[in-house]
Amino acid sequence: MHTSTVEIRVRYAETDQMGFVYYGNYATYLEVARVEALRSLGLSYKEMEVQGVMLPVVDFSIKYHAPATYDDLILVKTTIKTMPTSKIHFTYECLHGDKVLTTAETTLVFVNKSTIRPTKCPEDLIAALQPFFS
């Protein structure tokens, strides 16, 4: 299992009329966390795309537990619990201090950029994750 964290400061424009983070903005926070999770392994989305592999989201679920507000510092904990195959599954926990704001999951599919067909997980990602699953 591999876990990484990233901090995100809530910007005023991300809040709604009630002063809470608008629910749809959490998808962006999770994307930031996912990209940083791969970066923590020494990989980047950009480089995977250059190598011809795209990663569209095929499943997204989220549960809201408590609201975040302007200027809150949110810690997004991202976990990869299983070795990827043609898909990669991420789980997330968004926290403000010790308060759980959201829990979420996404599944992404590795897709060949040229054919737009599923493909295997890139070998460099498998190699980077291997120590966490031994």
Closest CA to 91 of 79, 107, 102, 109: 79
Which residue in the list 16, 71, 72, 98 is annotated as catalytic?
16
100 beta partners: 95
Q: Determine whether 59 is an active site residue.
A: no
SS3 90: strand
Closest CA to 67 of 114, 25, 10, 20: 20
The position carrying tokens 């070795």 is 83
- Residues marked active site are found at 16
